[in-house]
Amino acid sequence: MPCRIVPGMARTLRVEAITQRLQERGWTQAQLAEAVGVSNQTVTNWLAGSFPRPRALLKLAVTLGLAIDKLVETRDAAEPVVAFRKKAGAKTTDEHINKARGIGYLLKPLVSALPETRQLRTLITSPSCDYAQLRKAVEQTRSELGIGQHAVLSYSHLIGQFKKNAAILVPVLWGKKGNHENALHIRLPDEDVTFVFLNLDVRIEDFKFWMAHELAHVYTPELAGTEKGEDFADAFAGALLFPHECAESAYREACGHPKSAAITVLSRYAHKHQVSLNTVHQQVKRFAEQARLRLLPVDDKTIHRVRNSVPAQTVSKALFDPLPPEASSYISVASSVFQSDFFVALERMVKERGVGAGYIQQVLDVPLKDSMSIHGALVV
């Protein structure tokens, strides 16, 4: 069935459908390019988010044997774009997506209450998980932040970048989550504003990785909500927090040691950079693989066992004592620590437009009791 396009509708290729068909046929990207009659770079651009011209689109559909509606995703250009950070085999269900989009629509009236946002923002124009290209992107990002490749990337560096790029951090207390609901990205295309919900009830070192992951989405808005976007965000986060130079130093120091001593070295680097042991391990492993060096005698399973043997401190516990915090304390931390304008805008809506606790409950996805406490603190 042909896909009817109407004004105000945005079109994107269903990249997952294309890659699945290539896998089924055993084709490479270069073979697809040859069959369609375009360059390999053109196909790369399509898979990265650009859209083919009508004649090329038709040829692509015929070549892959896909109907247009299976090849092209059409959506309302004003529809919120949502992205959950994927975790292992956790599946993002339609229920997750629809609920998040519902929050996105509810956030639209809040945008007018926000301070004006700057228009000049950081974009990664050709995002790639290739080691060399990823290293270049990280070098440019750290250079913009004014820190070297060996320097520890602080929370303040990350928070400042969200602020500069019209991304509103929304710290939330969602309790311990087993899947991927610890970070939620909602971009409003028409309003050109992004809301990033971050669960504070997680391990401190995990929280830093999720922040870097979400920052990657902010830098690559066209990829948000796609599998490619998730893969890039994970790769970028690890490389940004523990760059090539740090990975090389850790590898050289741990090389030649038995497993336990090597893990001790990696743990020391993880503690210094305030990141998880697994992040350090994965970056060191990637460095060794690209340099064609022998891997350290450390396996993923052992790393996870060692990491989980250490008592975890959550971000919420570090920020608030006791838990749960008073609503006023929670709002203060959101504004001061996370430089978030979310509650500033929400207070304006409560006082000037008479918004009630029910609205707060829905946009923050919290129990009514908590939303009433927040509402009370904003009314004062």
**119-157 pLDDT, tens digit each:** 678 899 889 999 999 999 999 999 989 999 999 999 999
Sequence-separated (6 or more) residues with CB below 8 Å from residue 252: none
Average pLDDT over residues 362-378: 96
The whole-angstrom separation of Cα 205 and Cα 271 is: 9
- Residue 9: per-residue pLDDT: 55
- φ, ψ of residue 281 to 5 degrees: the values are -60, -45
- Residue 5: per-residue pLDDT: 34
The pLDDT confidence band at residue 194, using thresholds 50, 70 and 90, is: very high
- Residue 6: per-residue pLDDT: 38
- Residue 3: per-residue pLDDT: 35
Tokens of 104: 């996105």
Check whether domain 9-76 has CATH 1.10.260.40, yes or no: yes
> How many beta carbons lie within 10 A of that of residue 141, not counting itself?
23
Average pLDDT over residues 293-298: 97
- Residue 311: per-residue pLDDT: 86
- Residue 4: per-residue pLDDT: 34
The pLDDT confidence band at residue 178, using thresholds 50, 70 and 90, is: low
- Residue 177: per-residue pLDDT: 60
Predicted confidence (pLDDT) at residue 374 exceeds the cutoff of 70: yes
The pLDDT > 90 percentage for the chain reads: 72
Average pLDDT over residues 162-187: 85
Supply the Cα-derived Rg of the chain in whole angstroms: 22
- Residue 217: per-residue pLDDT: 94
The pLDDT confidence band at residue 23, using thresholds 50, 70 and 90, is: very high
- Residue 225: per-residue pLDDT: 81
The pLDDT confidence band at residue 356, using thresholds 50, 70 and 90, is: very high
The whole-angstrom separation of Cα 81 and Cα 117 is: 19
The whole-angstrom separation of Cα 184 and Cα 197 is: 5
Query: Which of 68-77, 108-117, 176-185, 290-299 is most confident?
Result: 290-299
- Residues across the chain: 380
Continuous H helices in the chain: 15-25, 29-36, 40-48, 54-64, 68-71, 94-111, 131-145, 155-164, 204-219, 227-241, 244-254, 259-273, 277-290, 300-309, 315-319, 327-336, 342-353, 357-364, 368-379
Predicted confidence (pLDDT) at residue 179 exceeds the cutoff of 60: no
> How many beta carbons lie within 10 A of that of residue 300, not counting itself?
11
- Residue 214: per-residue pLDDT: 94
**195-234 pLDDT, tens digit each:** 999 999 999 989 999 999 999 999 999 888 888 899 999 9
Average pLDDT over residues 291-311: 95
The whole-angstrom separation of Cα 89 and Cα 203 is: 20
- Residue 55: per-residue pLDDT: 87
pTM above 0.85, yes or no: no
Tokens of 113: 């209450």
